[in-house]
Amino acid sequence: MSAEMANEIKLISGRSHPELSEKIAKRLGIEVARTISLNYSNQETSFTVGESVRDEDVFIVQSTATGDVNEGLMELLIMISACRTASARRITAVIPNFPYARQDKKDKSRAPISARLVANMLQTAGANHIITVDLHASQIQGFFSVPGMATRSLLTLLVLDRADSSVVDNLYAEPSFLRYIRENFKPEDCVIVSPDAGGAKRATSIADHLNTAFALIHKERPRPNVVGRMVLVGNVQDKVAILVDDMADTCGTLVKAAAVLKEHGAKSVLALVTHGILSGNAIETLNNSVLEALVVTNTVPLGDKLERCPKIRVIDISPTIAEAIRRTHNGESVSYLFTHAPV
């Protein structure tokens, strides 16, 4: 069966998150393709292909390790380009944490729209399809309620930028979060809190699904990575406050929000975040905070952070990604995954 069966899934793993690739491969019942990425001593990236990808359905898994975003991105581009050179039938870049997703608008004069540049680069390298998780753009939360009819700012940007555009599938960690909350808490004891106005839709969507109360924290942000004053809208008295966000970077927002929630009488505070980037002093900030737990998915490699911070808990997102890969390969609908998390 194997020799003549062309067009199989070839799962190629970048260096950034081999554990995730392994989990996905295990889930799909295949092996990660034999390739190796290295850096020359002059720091150029080299990518060696050790098996044929001709006429295969190639999926390249590359997250972006914190601090090494550009290395990972360049490696991904070289991998895509190599597979295209090697006559792969279709190349799908699986980028759980889309790099530069936050730089998605020209917010001041001559600011680069790097997210769009990255999207263009991926297409230039030869990616036909992109699978990602929880793209950072406030509008995309509308996608939860009306599947397939979203007003998706970054997605629109990605898709409409070129005529020969790649197709983007944005997956959601929300179903996994819902299951986590249902398994660990009584929904009636909880309040879902959005740490900023931009994430309100994401939080309300979860609150609606669980039929719980909802609260919002309004914040002022003078500069990137710096958080200003915070105001709570809603009641969290004697409740388990669950902060919901798409990424935790320096954790300044989350920790301040947690403090505000505690001040307003919350019984305990935890945070559910898709991408645990956790850069800078995030670990120290978390350890010294009133936040009881930070629950993240494994879209971003955590390295030794789990040991350094006992508050971090991880939800495995690989079943969702593996299922998306399987469905994409077989030409089935992916939208089931927007509301259900595979077990």
Partner 1 sequence: MVRNIVVLGGNSHPELTKSVCEILGIPPCNRILTKFSSGESRCEIQDSVRGKDVYIIQTGFGGNGSRLNDHFMDLCIMISACKTGSARRVTAVLPLFPYSRQPDLPYKKTGAPLYKAQSESDKKNYTFDSVPVTPGPGTAQSTGLSNGADLLKSALTNGNGHANGDAYFGGQSIYTTHDYENASHVGAFQAKPGYKQWVAQAGTLVANLLTCAGADHVITMDLHDPQVQGFFDVPVDNLYGRPLLKRYIQTHIPNYKDAVIISPDAGGAKRATAIADSMGIDFALIHKVRSPPLAPIQAYQHPLFFTQERRPTKITDRQNASMMLVGNVTGRVCILIDDLVDTGNTITRAAKLLKKEGATTIYALITHGVFSGDAINRIKASAIDKIVVTNSVPQDEHKDLLGNKLDVLDISHIFAEAIRRVHHGESISVLFNHD
Least Å distance, CB 286 to partner 1, is 14
> Is residue 192 within 8 Å of residue 210, measured between CB atoms?
yes
State residue 226 phi and psi, 5-degree precision.
-125, 135
Binding of residue 286 to partner 1 (CB under 8 A) = no
Q: Which is nearer to partner 1, 124 or 335 (CB)?
A: 124
* CA dihedral over 255, 257, 263, 265, signed as positive or negative: negative
DSSP element (H, E) containing 230: strand 230-233
Query: How is residue 192 written in tokens?
Result: 């879902």
- With CB under 8 A, what is the number of residues at the site for partner 1? 60
| Binding segment toward partner 1, per CB under 8 A, in 19-27, 79-87, 233-241, 308-316 | 79-87
Stretch of 73-81, 134-142, 207-215, 312-320 contacting partner 1, by CB under 8 A: 73-81
Q: Tell me: does residue 66 bind partner 1 (CB under 8 A).
A: yes
Q: Which is nearer to partner 1, 57 or 75 (CB)?
A: 75
Pairing label, strands 190-194, 213-219: parallel
d(CA 217, CA 49): 49
Interaction of residue 223 with partner 1, rule CB under 8 A: no
Q: If binding is defined by CB under 8 A, does position 156 make contact with partner 1?
A: no
Q: Which of 30, 121, 150, 306 binds partner 1 (CB under 8 A)?
A: 121
Cβ(62)–Cβ(94) under 8 Å?
yes
- Work out whether 138 is an interface residue with partner 1 (CB under 8 A): no
How many angstroms separate the Cα of 270 from the Cα of each of 43, 47, 169? 41, 41, 29
In this structure, which amino acid lies at residue 264? Answer: H
Instruction: Using CB under 8 A, pick the residue from 21, 63, 64, 328 that binds partner 1.
Output: 64
Q: Among residues 183 and 304, whose Cβ is nearest to partner 1? A: 304
Pairing of β 45-49 and β 35-39: antiparallel
Would you count residue 284 as binding partner 1 (CB under 8 A)? no
Backbone angle region of 265, left / alpha / beta, with phi > 0 → left and psi within -120 to 50 → alpha: left
List residues near partner 1 by CB under 8 A.
34, 36, 38-52, 64-71, 73-75, 77-79, 81-82, 85, 99-100, 102-103, 106, 108-114, 116-117, 120-121, 123-125, 224-225, 249-250, 277, 279-280
